[in-house]
Amino acid sequence: MTKSLEEEAKKFARKKHKPASVKELTPRIYLAGQAMGGFIAAGRQTWRMQEIKKASFDWADYMLEDDT
């Protein structure tokens, strides 16, 4: 049984894998990620994923406004 598992692993390793398409890291996405990290690190346990995402992008949009 070990032999067939080893053969299967070698066959899998020889396969050509297409890399997943890479989404460009925009300043907005970067800033949203930074804000999200801060929210998660703050440790508030009542966040839902949709709330964290919305708040993160709200902060990113605020940081990118031109009224500085």
Number of domains forming the structure of the chain: 1
Residue 11 lies in a domain: no
Compute the distance between CA of residue 35 and CA of residue 54 in angstroms, rounded to an integer.
Answer: 11
Q: Is residue 32 domain-resident?
A: yes
Reported as a pLDDT band with limits 50, 70 and 90, residue 32 is very high
Q: How confident is the model at residue 20 (pLDDT cuts 50, 70, 90)?
A: confident
37 in a structural domain:
yes
For 32, the domain range is 24-68
Q: Decide: 37 and 52 in contact? Cβ < 8 Å.
A: no
> Which of 28, 27, 49, 29 shows the shortest CA–CA distance to 40?
49
